C-alpha cells in the first residue's frame, strides 16, 4: 500500500487544546492606566487636595510640588527600556495592593495623614506588579519610591528629628560665636549675646533644609553616580552639610544683630539668608559629588 508524505507547503493544524496567547500592547495598557488614574484621582481627591495645600502652606514641604514632575521625568527617560521589557502579571502585586488598601482604610479611620497619603504610592506599586510584572516594577521602583519625599512625615517623627537638630544648631552656633571672640551664654536653645538674645526655635533647626537637600541628593545621586556606595556617600553627606550650613546662618544672624542691631537681622535678611545658606549647602554638595567622581575615576584607573 503506497504511503503518501505530506507536502511541505501544507500546514499542520494545531491540537485543539493549544491556545494562542498574545501580549497586551502598551497602548491598551496606557488606556487601562489612565482609567486607573482617574479612579484613584476620584478616590484620593480630598487627600490630594489637602496634600497640595500643605505643600503650599508649609515651607518644610514646598519641594513637594517638584517631586511628581521628577518622577514623571524619570519614567519618561526610561520609556525605550520599558517598551522592550516583557509584560507578565505577577501575583506578588496582590498582597502589595491589599496592603495599600489597608493603609488607606487605617489612615482614614485613625485620621493619620501619612498612612492616607503614602497608601497611594503603595497601591500604584501593586497595580504595576499585577498588570505589568516584576521586570517593569524594577524599572520604575526608584521613581515610585521617590514619591515618598512628597509625603510629609508624621508629626511624631518630624519633631523626633527636629528637636535634636534644634539643640545641635544652638550648641554649634554658640561654639562658633565663642571661637570668633563673641561673648556668648547658651541657655538651653537660647543664645545670649551682650546686646541681644537669639532663640533657636523649631524653624531654625534646619530640618527644612535637611528634607529638601536630602531629596536633591537622592535624585542627583541616582542620575549621576554609578554605584550604590557612591550614592550612599553623597546622600549621607547631605546631613553634616545641612547641620554646618544651618549653624552658619545662626552665627551670621548673631554677628549682624550684635554689630548693627537686631532689626537688621530680621525680616528680609532672615528670609534671604535662608536661600543663601541653601545655595551654600548645594555648592558643598557639588564639591562632595566632584570628590566622589575623582576618587571613583582614580580607583578605576588603578584597577585597570
- Verify that 89 and 164 share a domain, yes or no: no
Q: Is residue 13 part of a domain?
A: no
- Verify that 184 and 268 share a domain, yes or no: yes
With contact defined as beta carbons under 8 Å apart, do 162 and 201 qualify?
A: no
Strands (E), the chain: 185-187, 190-192, 197-199
With contact defined as beta carbons under 8 Å apart, do 206 and 277 qualify?
A: no
- Verify that 103 and 171 share a domain, yes or no: no
pLDDT in tens, 22-32: 455 666 666 76
Give CA–CA dist 85/180, Å, rounded: 60
Amino acid 106: pLDDT: 93
Give CA–CA dist 82/129, Å, rounded: 14
pLDDT in tens, 145-196: 999 999 999 888 888 888 888 888 889 888 988 888 888 888 888 888 877 7
- Verify that 32 and 59 share a domain, yes or no: yes
- Verify that 169 and 297 share a domain, yes or no: yes
Share of the chain above pLDDT 70, in %: 84
- Verify that 204 and 277 share a domain, yes or no: yes
- Which domain, by its residues, includes 274? 156-303
The pTM of the whole model exceeds 0.75: yes
- Verify that 86 and 166 share a domain, yes or no: no
Q: Is residue 10 part of a domain?
A: no
With contact defined as beta carbons under 8 Å apart, do 168 and 243 qualify?
A: yes
- Verify that 180 and 136 share a domain, yes or no: no
Grid cell of 199 as nine digits: 532663640
- Verify that 106 and 122 share a domain, yes or no: yes
Amino acid 71: pLDDT: 93
Q: Is residue 298 part of a domain?
A: yes
Which of 131, 152, 173 lies at the terminal end of a domain, its last residue? 152
In the DSSP assignment, the letter for residue 205 is S
pLDDT in tens, 242-291: 999 888 888 888 888 777 766 666 666 666 777 788 888 889 999 999 99
Which of 104, 125, 152 lies at the terminal end of a domain, its last residue? 152
- Verify that 214 and 249 share a domain, yes or no: yes
- Verify that 164 and 88 share a domain, yes or no: no
Which of 126, 152, 178 lies at the terminal end of a domain, its last residue? 152
The angle at the Cα of 219, spanning 217 to 221, to the nearest 5 degrees, equals 65
**Coil, helix or strand at residue 1:** coil
pLDDT in tens, 85-95: 888 888 898 99
Give CA–CA dist 228/7, Å, rounded: 60
pLDDT in tens, 282-298: 899 999 999 998 887 87
pLDDT in tens, 224-245: 988 889 999 999 999 999 999 8
**How many domains, in total, are found in the chain?**
2
Q: How confident is the model at residue 140 (pLDDT cuts 50, 70, 90)?
A: very high
Greater confidence, 48 or 296? 48
Q: Is residue 9 part of a domain?
A: no
Amino acid at each position: 500500500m503506497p504511503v503518501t508524505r505530506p507536502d511541505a507547503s501544507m500546514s499542520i493544524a494545531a491540537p485543539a487544546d493549544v491556545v494562542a496567547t498574545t501580549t497586551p500592547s502598551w497602548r491598551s495598557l496606557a488606556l487601562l492606566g489612565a482609567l486607573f488614574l482617574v479612579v484613584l484621582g476620584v478616590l484620593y481627591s480630598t487627600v490630594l487636595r489637602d496634600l497640595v495645600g500643605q505643600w503650599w502652606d508649609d515651607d518644610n514641604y514646598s519641594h513637594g510640588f517638584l517631586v511628581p514632575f521628577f518622577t514623571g521625568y524619570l519614567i519618561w527617560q526610561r520609556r525605550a527600556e520599558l517598551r522592550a521589557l516583557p509584560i507578565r502579571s505577577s501575583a506578588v502585586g496582590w498582597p502589595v495592593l491589599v496592603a495599600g488598601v489597608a493603609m488607606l482604610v487605617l489612615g482614614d479611620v485613625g485620621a493619620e495623614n501619612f498612612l492616607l497619603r503614602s497608601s497611594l504610592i503603595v497601591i500604584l506599586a501593586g497595580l504595576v506588579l499585577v498588570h505589568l510584572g516584576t521586570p517593569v516594577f524594577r524599572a520604575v521602583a526608584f521613581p515610585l519610591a521617590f514619591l515618598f519625599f512628597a509625603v510629609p512625615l508624621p508629626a511624631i517623627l518630624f519633631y523626633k528629628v527636629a528637636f535634636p537638630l534644634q539643640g545641635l544648631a544652638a550648641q554649634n552656633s554658640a561654639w562658633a560665636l565663642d571661637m570668633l571672640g563673641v561673648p556668648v551664654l547658651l541657655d538651653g536653645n537660647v543664645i545670649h549675646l551682650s546686646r541681644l538674645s537669639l532663640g533657636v526655635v523649631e524653624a531654625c533647626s534646619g530640618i527644612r533644609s535637611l528634607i529638601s537637600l536630602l531629596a536633591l541628593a537622592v535624585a542627583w545621586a541616582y542620575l549621576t553616580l554609578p554605584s550604590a556606595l557612591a550614592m550612599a556617600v553623597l546622600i549621607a553627606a547631605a546631613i553634616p552639610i545641612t547641620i554646618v550650613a544651618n549653624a552658619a546662618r545662626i552665627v551670621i544672624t548673631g554677628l549682624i544683630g550684635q554689630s548693627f542691631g537686631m532689626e537688621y537681622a530680621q525680616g528680609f535678611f532672615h528670609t534671604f539668608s535662608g536661600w543663601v545658606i541653601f545655595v551654600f549647602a548645594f555648592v558643598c554638595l557639588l564639591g562632595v559629588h566632584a570628590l566622589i567622581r575623582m576618587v571613583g575615576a582614580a580607583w578605576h584607573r588603578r584597577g585597570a
